[in-house]
Structure 1
Amino acid sequence: MLTTRSQRWRDRRASFVPAASEIDPNRLSVDVIDTRRQATPFVEAHHYAASMPVCRLAIGLFRNGPGGRSELAGVCAFSVPINNASVPKNAGLADPLSACDLGRLVLLDDVGGNGESFLVSRAFRLLRRERPGILAVISYADPVRRIDADGQVFLPGHVGQLYATMGSRYVGRSSPRTDLLLPSGRPVSSRAISKIRNGETGERYAIDQIVQAGAAPPAFGEDRADWLQGLVRDGFLRRRRHPGNHTYVFPLVKAAKLACRKVPSLPYPLLDRAALQGDVTALPLFSLAA
């Protein structure tokens, strides 16, 4: 087995449950949900990033709740790829619209260990039904352990073991980058930084996230790039080098499987359970079996 634990979420804190703990499929259902009214509030409440990427389709995991009413217990959100180049690079598909990212996968901490595969496998089928132009899904695993200002781990870091057990292709790491961290230790997304620096749509929301974390808002007429640089200079935002996320591809149809042959398939990375900080990828970086 590549994994013995499954990552779970509640109130923006990650935890792990034994993969051996099982769900009862007869008590769960999976269906398309409304992104704005259902998926986004759930993700913002429980995922450490507290944000929803630009979503192409959201799928919900439901169970029986109080009073016999249906209760949302997990969300799988398929999002727009991080950039147009990522689709041909990682999936071998020429059309950027022919693939999407697995932007968010969030299950509550009391869902059994095999709940993720139950949700994702059914979400893939719904994705093909609702968005037949999407031929492949790209997923990223962030291996960097994140610690808040109080020294508490809020994201343990993972190497995508679930994706490996589900038969995806591992295609390596995304490009290394430099993160800007809030005082809480949470990173400001590179997309939010780009919106602020370039004055793109969504800039005000991105600025508000940083201000809500305790930063002084930009002065009237102040250049937004200068404002960000000032927050770095004053120590409010801290720079930290990131080695790149592990990248996996799920070809959903035969055409995508053929296209994936253009991209090298690498051995799956392993988790270093002894790692207390930084990158939790084990050394040597890869297992011997592809």
Structure 2
Amino acid sequence: MLSTSNPQSGPARTTPPTLQDLLPIDDLGEIPTATPWCQRWRERRHSFRHTSAGGFNPRHYALEPLAVRTAKEFVLHHHYSGSFPSAKKTFGLFNTSDSEPQLSGVAVFGLSVGKAVLERALPDLEANVASLECSRFVLLDECPANAESWFLARCFDELLASNVRGVVSFADPVPRRTNTGELVAVGHVGTIYQASNAAYTGRATARTVKLLPDGTILHDRAAQKVRKQEQGHEYVEAKLMALGAPAPRAGCIPALWLRDALHAVGARNVRHRGPHRYVFRLGRNQRERERITLGYPELMPYPKRPDPCN
């Protein structure tokens, strides 16, 4: 606590701490855009950078298209989700201040799980072709403040050059903990997108999600891969076995094995109010951007706080 005293006014007066006094701490989520703090990641743990510690110098950084394999390795190692989605465009942020450029950030733009997600948000654009979903955006803790705004803007330049005219991104505001209480997801309100003037269009559909004991979510699409033995089911099954599920027996019914596996690992149902949805319309100028129809009304003000932890 900060305190000031006046010998003529009796006891010292205690003033409440400011947000700047409190940071950085481990279990705080994203910080409102009015504050000078930027969130960073390393090995799936977040930290904060203050603008006064040194601003971003674009002369020391470069954006390059990135091989999907390289992007996947980086995201799996550093992003809190520990997963990698379907990718169509992947970009890397490289620190060029040393003789050997160092990969310091990755942005992934890919296909939405369902075309309707993009079609409803950007009805004028062909989903998964002229519109994509920004599904991962992660910068290492070495990146100075304001790096994300520059990186995102350069990504949009590259996308526009390849005839992508719209981007939808979601921010999950629900903090998640493991069964032992460790915080693994701090809850995001979309601070990066707000700072880049995205159109906020409310929350996606509320639903019940399956929370695994390591704090990650088993998405419906992943569960469906197991039930129908589609491509990628081995990865989902291996994850559940690593959490304590028995291995599938020869000839077992996949849907029944999944049910028993989730029970064995202690998965639980959690009600999710829906992620925050942001939409970017891309164009060379404001007139071009405004010609692209928003499928949802734009809402204000931006959300500022994560949801309560379940």
TM-score tier, shorter chain, comes to: 0.7 to 0.9
Instruction: Name the amino acid aligned to 2:44.
Output: R
Tell me which residue corresponds to 2:100: 69
Q: Find the aligned partners of 2:66 and 2:176 in 1 and give their Cα distance.
A: 30
Deviations 1:206-232 (A, max 9, x none): 222222233222222222221221133
1:44 alignment partner, one of 76, 79, 87: 76
1:88 equivalent among 119, 136, 157 = 119
Task: Show the counterpart of 1:281.
Answer: none
Q: CA deviation at 1:168?
A: 1.0
Higher strand proportion:
1
Unaligned runs of 5+ in 1: 279-290
Match of 1:286 in 2: none
Q: Please identify, of 5-14 and 38-47, the stretch whose mean Cα deviation from structure 2 is larger.
A: 5-14
What's the TM-score once normalised by structure 1's chain length? Answer: 0.86
Runs of 4+ in 1 over 3 A off after TM superposition: 232-235, 254-257
CA drift at 1:169: 0.7
Instruction: Give the conservation status (yes or no) of the 8 Å contact 1:3–1:19.
Output: no
Of 187, 193, 196, the match for 1:157: 187
1:53 alignment counterpart: 85
Alignment of 1:53-202 (within 5 A): 53-64=85-96, 68-93=99-124, 95-96=126-127, 97-129=129-161, 131-132=162-163, 134-202=164-232
- Secondary structure of the corresponding residue to residue 247 of structure 1: strand
Q: CA deviation at 1:202?
A: 1.4
Identity %: 31
Kept in 1, the 8 Å contact 2:130–2:165? The answer is yes
1:184, distance to aligned residue in structure 2 (A): 1.4
Higher mean C-alpha displacement, 158-167 vs 7-16: 7-16
Match of 2:57 in 1: 24
Q: Counterparts of 2:227 and 2:185 in 1: how far apart (Å)? A: 27
Q: Is structure 2 residue 279 aligned with structure 1 residue 249?
A: yes
Q: Normalised by the size of structure 2, how large is the TM-score?
A: 0.81
The question of whether the paired residues in 2 share the 8 Å contact of 1:178 and 1:240 is answered with: yes
Unaligned runs of 5+ in 2: 1-31
Q: What are the equivalent positions in structure 2 for 1:210-249 lying under 5 Å apart?
A: 210-234=240-264, 236-249=266-279
Counterparts of 2:298 and 2:199 in 1: how far apart (Å)? 6
CA root-mean-square deviation: 2.1
| Rounded Cα–Cα distance in structure 1 between residues aligned with 2:295 and 2:173 | 26
Letter in 2 for 1:258: R
Distance change (3 Å), C-alpha of 1:93 and 1:234? same
Larger radius of gyration: 2
* Matched length: 273
- The whole-number CA distance in structure 1 between the counterparts of 2:223 and 2:288 is 36
Q: Quick one: distance in 2 between partners of 1:206 and 1:146?
A: 20
